[in-house]
Structure 1
Amino acid sequence: MRIENQHNAILENAQRLTKNISKSGLSIYDEIPIGDPDLWIPSQELELLLNEELSGLELGSLPIRTRSKVVKTKICEVLGYPVPSSFKKTKPRFLGQNFDTYTQKSNNLQIWNEEISSSRRYVLIRVSSENIITKVKVVTGDMLASLDNTGTLTQKYQARLILGNEVSELVSENNTQNLDSVMVAEAKTPYYTTNPTDYPTAGTLLSIETIFEKLKAIVGKSFPDLGSDQERNRGAELHRLVCQHLGYSNYKDDGRFPDVKHQLLEVKLQTSPTIDLGLFSPDSKDILDIPAINGRQIRHCDVRYAIFFAEIIEGMVRITHFFLTTGEDFFKRFPQFQGKVLNSKLQIPLKKDFFD
């Protein structure tokens, strides 16, 4: 029932936004501030809405270019935009909502002549062998990079974890000034009706000191190691512990940044000194794809990073150290070194279950 209620709430918000867009008279080329509570469609709303409206659409045996135009026309109609007489070759194509579309019949995603952008959204549309749209996924550039296992996409940002004398270290004593300005003194502890993936609000964002006090108890905890090729599942076990210690009654992960969206908290499990940061530089002032809080846009550098170092001994992962920092202060504690820049003309093999 809780999942159904959340689904309906997301869909209602998406429909509210599309009605606002329709009334605004804006075109797909008119830029909208990221996080605008009345016109910007966040990724989870965008994905749900496009799935509701595009799934089942028959494309027949249309040529690729015609098929692309038909899909983009339908997306305009779904989102409340007027259909342009011709689609400009802007980057991205849907400039106002900052996304590109890729209609996929195969499991190879091809992105030509430009680097993957960390802030851009990529709308991936699955087409069956019968030329019917079956599923839509909305991902960021960083999520795309995490899908690649060929080595074509490499980490653009990396940092080094250097252990100190303390097993628990609060690197940032305060939130960023931007985040502090929207927080209230007595935030509510998460309760049973709240999901870790809900959008943050001024009344529910815990202070960085409170998060530190709640999470430092994880040091010393252990859980079974699922194998060297199971990093994602290891991370999920830690994520579960983090949600539990923050006071959530359930664990949920939608695969989007940051991990615990409701607390603007990214969780990282380290068993080696190299911290892979993907396409997101923690101190970036780029705007995060979430609704503005009390009219203030939230930036990547406002996100709090919980970094846990662990040892793997006799089949168990044991947490030995914990660090908590804002993105703004991240590189003050963890020295940055540059990873490889992403190549253009990329071909990314999508996993068989990617659209499931």
Structure 2
Amino acid sequence: MNKDFKTPPKSAKKLTQPETLVQYFSELVGQPFILTGKTRTDGSNIRKLIASTLEKHSLPELAEQGEFEIVPPKAKGVPKIVREFIDTYIVTSGTSYNLQVWNRIPATETLLIKYESGESLKCNDVRFVFVRIDTEKNVVASVIILTPEYIEQKFGKFGKPTIKHQLLISGKVRKDIYGSEDKILSFPDSKKLSYQIRHDYEPPKSGMVEEPDIKHLFSIGLLKKMVAEKLIGFKLDAAATKNRGQALEKKVLELLGYEVNENDLLYGAFPDIRNQLLEVKVQDSPTVDLGKFSPEKEEIVIEDSNLTTFDVRYLIALTNPKTEIIEGIILSPGEKLGELFSYVSAESYKCQRAIPMSFFEKYYGKSVFNPS
């Protein structure tokens, strides 16, 4: 496959429209295709077939080095045909097709490619190209292009693997934060919270581990003023508590006016300061451990209030590992983290979704995109 396919387009807007791809791939329908019986070889041959078809037409202009950044380490989770943001899949026989997506959670806003212009390509921008093979006639029976959202709406959500996710904050982002006037990067609260939370300070009425009352949650704007601005330049005294995470948590609680109980610091709930729906993290390396809950995918955190990982506010202290001084702060709802940073996993993982074979049979002899 042409090595240029591993480079993204100059702009996300330059990707060939799916309707045009349908026309390109229609020429494949009915063409001979002999299966080798070796899964990897057949998969590779399908990818080469799609790539060679794309090469017959005008391709998106290539981005130049320095104009983009591939966010995940080792490009894990980035589609194989990056230039058109396409992953290919071969569909043969059986009653159900088991779609496996490696190293990314498909229908999410997680960054894969970040452009200097501010544009980006995310997990939910990947186009899935399914090539159905008629195993009796040894021909391409159909080509079906689907988006992650379509797959989830039509067939249900992808099975989420049990993995410990980390948030990758690049050196460039850290540098930009350090270079900003207040050294704080913040985003507004989620829409769900924004109409009810407090923008003026009132001393907490309950303990840090108590369930939050939305009416008494301090807005991110208030948290920035009361906490983030005062943390810049603060030295984390790791010796005073079990670790720096607890040292930071303790300082945040003091700034918010909570009574600090050492047992509460060891409570281990999510989020850390549950009463304020606030998760506190220290970052002195490229990654932040997220533990059991990750805002990459929306999950209910507090059932009574229907609050999710998207609503949880994250305070991430960017710390100098040599001095333990906080040099920058990120303050953001979970839903925004994936727009600027990337979720990574130390181990490879896959998300799966079963698609009935009857779906593919319905479009025998056709090339289609997100069929209704």
TM-score by length of 1: 0.45
Q: Which has the larger radius of gyration?
A: 2
